[in-house]
Amino acid sequence: MARTAPPRYINRELSWLEFNQRVLDEAADATIPLLERLKFLAISASNLDEFFRVRVGGLQMLVNQGVVRPDSSGLTPEEQLAAIHERVQRMTQEQHRIYAELEPQLAAHGIRRLRSEELSKAQRSVLQRVFDEEVYPVLSPMAVTSADDFPLLSNGLLCVCVRIKPRQEGDADRYAIVPCGPGVTRFLSLPSEAAQAFILLEDALALLAGRFFPGEAVLECVPFRITRNADMELREDSASDLLEEMQQLLFERRVGDCARLELGEQASANLEGFLRSTLELSDTEIIRQPGPLELSDFFRLTDRPAADVLKYEAWPPQPSSSIPAGSAMFDVIAGGDLLLYHPYESFEPVVRFVEEAANDPDVLAIKQTLYRTARDSQIVAALLRAAERGKHVTVIVELKARFDEARNIEWARQLEQAGAQVLYGVKGLKTHAKVCLVVRREPQGIVRYMHFGTGNYNEITSRIYSDTSLLTCDRDLGMDAAAFFNAITGYSHAPRYRKIEAAPIGLRDKLLEMIRAEIEFKSQGQPARIDVKVNALVDPLLIDALYEASQAGVDVRLNVRGICCLRPGVKGLSENIEVVSVIDRFLEHARILHFHHGGDHRMFISSADWMTRNLDRRVELLVPVEDPVCRDRLMRILNAYFDDNVKSRKLLSDGRHRRLTSGKREPFRAQERLYEEARRADQLAQQQQRTTFEPHRRGA
């Protein structure tokens, strides 16, 4: 029987699960400090929660609607759900295997989880007091008899289901639900010789649940958790008030259909059957967990004081060596383009750029996009000050930034009250572009200063996400930025830009044009190469173009952190394509592109991943980096990721990843090298500053 050729594309959902497996592999890596391993474990659990809320919930809707059309990998929605269920079962088992491995090691370092059977008399006494004072008055059990009176539990809320003995022989068991709301900590501290001893709230409830039901016999008390479908789209066409419509959407996400029930492994068949029938679940929608539910909660333990040996060595963001101490950002940018690479270099210059613009009397206008911001955002505070001082402030606040909608609604209201012109994104699209335009009056005339980035205007995530910033006053880019904002804020059609490209109109076409140019150079016997760093590669048109480039002999190197639907290394299709993925202490987020272009190297940064949604349903930017110094540095950064042989994994043609090893080469860890380069550059700049003699002048 002839072998069937593998599908042309890897399934998107299974590719995402393999990405999460790479995160989980870091938790299993014994060379990583203990609390960092726990952090990776928590991240993998949090990632899986979002996967069920969005991707699995959406597939379940398709199945319920009777959709049987296969995706590009050849799998129907029902087949995808079956494959996901099998893969997730193995992944969750491994998560709990790793947790069971970490727990005794944490205990050896004074971070000890106590079980009820381990409690001493003194600890039981303390727990009873804490329970009576802090738990019993806050939590409220709710009796349940059927689906009709089952409480409306919030998405992802940890709960316990209590089974109570019937009052009379022959009656059915009785059940109650106790939601563990945010008012009670999950980690209840207890006195111990260990530095940090605690018992989980659900374990305490299992021990003391009888206090909620005096005179009753509690048969079992088992934790469970519902993950609801959050794959719901905003009804923009019918929305009379976008803010009100978004608030309604947030409510619907909290109460959507159940996509997954996580249940403690100790649950009896009776208790599981009760939850199954009341929630109307199938077998594949129930996942029994052999250890604590909501492992993402254990992220909290990693923030507690601990010995240095349990955490990574600190890598504080370094000042940029290109920015002299005390210099105004406008002066620095006027002296030449500035490229920053975070978090190795501090995000502070970007914040200072907006703050100085807010305070500068010569600044006439600030225009900025906001997608995800910090809770106490310095950038939003600067925009508020600028508006209050009478500057023309235009802010495009994307209300549809999934899971950040509530915060963005609040920022939008505050900015409006301060007098800023606020737009809630673009109808039918998400504004994902990262750009700030400052218009300043100078002696020679109006000058436009800009920041273009690959990451959000978020001071917190800028310390843990790797992203690129370009600060420039290039005249053509300034004209493009102004045209970009005017196209979004007005009713105008997408303009013809001088240098940038924007989705959803021209960005994909520009990428296809650059790929085809490499094919043409190769056909002429010239060197041809494409190097791309993105977070996801899904778009079939771009994948097919890369396949075509490979078949033409173009060397293609791809660094894809997450989903990759391209199948590399297939003879006759993609043997000239190499795909690697780097998972390390910082989340890789920068999008960097290089095209050899006959030796006239073209470098770009972008807000867009190579996904159909980014290219067709989002407002995104592709920005050239033309300054020779910035361009060369960006190329060195990009090459570092392809040189990594410590934290890099190679994508195989069957969709699996294989960890790269140094072999005979020196170990090369991209993130460590990039941090060392930033640190050395700052040290050199400080040395030069100390050896530069500046005379005092009269009156200075």
Active site residues: 432
H-helix segments, 524-622: 540-551, 612-616
Torsion of CA 53, 55, 59, 65, to 10 degrees: 60
The helix-helix angle for 201-208 and 121-130 (nearest 10°) equals 100
Amino acid letter, 1: M
Question: In this structure, what are the phi and psi dihedrals at residue 495, rounded to the nearest 5 degrees?
Answer: -80, 170
As beta bridge partners, residue 658 has 650
User: Measuring CA to CA, how many Å separate 582 from each of 566, 585, 632, 668, 674?
Assistant: 17, 10, 22, 12, 13
User: Measuring CA to CA, how many Å separate 537 from each of 9, 10, 547?
Assistant: 11, 10, 13
Half-sphere exposure of 232 (CA within 13 A, CB side): 19
User: Measuring CA to CA, how many Å separate 553 from each of 9, 566, 617?
Assistant: 20, 17, 32
Number of helices (H) and strands (E), helices first, in the chain? 19, 27
In 3D space, the residue among 517, 558, 516, 544 whose CA is nearest the CA of residue 642 turns out to be 558
H-helix segments, 389-438: 405-418
Q: Give the C-alpha separation, 352 to 458, whole Å.
A: 13
**For residue 163, what are its two tokens?**
């089974």
H-helix segments, 572-695: 612-616, 628-643, 670-690
Q: Give the C-alpha separation, 23 to 11, whole Å.
A: 19
Question: In this structure, what are the phi and psi dihedrals at residue 485, rounded to the nearest 5 degrees?
Answer: -65, -40
Q: Give the C-alpha separation, 617 to 351, whole Å.
A: 29
Q: Give the C-alpha separation, 141 to 654, whole Å.
A: 49
Q: Contact 589/535 with Cβ under 8 angstroms?
A: yes
In 3D space, the residue among 615, 538, 592 whose CA is nearest the CA of residue 19 turns out to be 538
Q: Give the C-alpha separation, 468 to 417, whole Å.
A: 32
**For residue 210, what are its two tokens?**
């009888």
CA angle 574, 575, 576 (to 5 degrees): 90
**For residue 257, what are its two tokens?**
């259909």
With 0-12 CB in 10 A as exposed, 13-18 as middle and 19+ as buried, what is 599?
Answer: exposed
Instruction: List Cβ neighbours of 688 (8 Å cut-off, separation of 6 or more).
Output: none
- Strands (DSSP E) along 461-563, which ranges? 465-472, 501-503, 529-534, 555-560
**For residue 479, what are its two tokens?**
């004209």
Q: Give the C-alpha separation, 320 to 353, whole Å.
A: 14
Q: Give the C-alpha separation, 70 to 291, whole Å.
A: 36
Torsion of CA 252, 254, 259, 265, to 10 degrees: -160
Q: Give the C-alpha separation, 693 to 691, whole Å.
A: 6
In 3D space, the residue among 351, 379, 343 whose CA is nearest the CA of residue 463 turns out to be 343
**Type and span of the H or E element at 288:** strand 286-289
